[in-house]
Amino acid sequence: MHLASLIRPASPADAAGIAHVHVESWRSTYPGMLPDRYLVGLSMAAHEKRWRGLLSGSAPPRGRRTFVAQGAGGGIIGFASCGPQRTGLPGFGGEFYALYLLDQAQGQGTGRRFLSVMAQNLLAAGTRAAMVWVLRDNPSRYFYERLGGDLLAEQPIGFAGTTLMEVAYGWTDLVPLARLAADPRVGG
């Protein structure tokens, strides 16, 4: 059964659904990578407040766009966000900030469709190249490799009282990535 029936721009009304996906996907993805006390302490209410603020401000942070995937029942099953690159890697004007799905929504092409929609959005804003940071130990990093991302860099990052390694993947031409949504045979 294909759960993702619609990917659309997020609105303030989606804050609770995004918060749910954010917390649940972190708890299912990051055990063993992030401290258990941090994962257990994640607050739906705090994340909802943060997302409501991000989505309802008079203007979202410069160039940032957030998208949601709605399942067949209308609930939010995933979210993704992108915008201008924040880390200064030369040659990549855009960045995919987040892409999270509930466990039951994975493996159905929704992640590929999210990357395609974000690439289309960045291209429409005049950005031709983008990158993403992902924890090195996160098995989902290979999703970006399957979709043509080139390994660019690796760096330590302090988070939740621990030091982790993150890697960057990049696309120097977003056009093929933008076309992925039209070709279900491509990607994962």
Exposure b/e, 78-109, CB count within 10 A at least 16 = b: bbbbbbbbeeebeebbbbbbbbbbbeebbebb
pLDDT digits (tens, 9 = 90+) for 154-183: 999 998 889 999 999 999 999 999 998 654
pLDDT digits (tens, 9 = 90+) for 31-78: 989 999 999 999 999 999 999 988 987 555 678 899 999 998 889 999
0.75 surpassed by pTM: yes
Going by C-alpha positions, the residue among 126, 128, 136, 125 that lies closest to residue 65 is 125
Structural domains of the chain sorted by starting position, each given as residue range(s) with its CATH number in brackets: 4-182 (3.40.630.30)
pLDDT digits (tens, 9 = 90+) for 106-117: 888 999 999 999
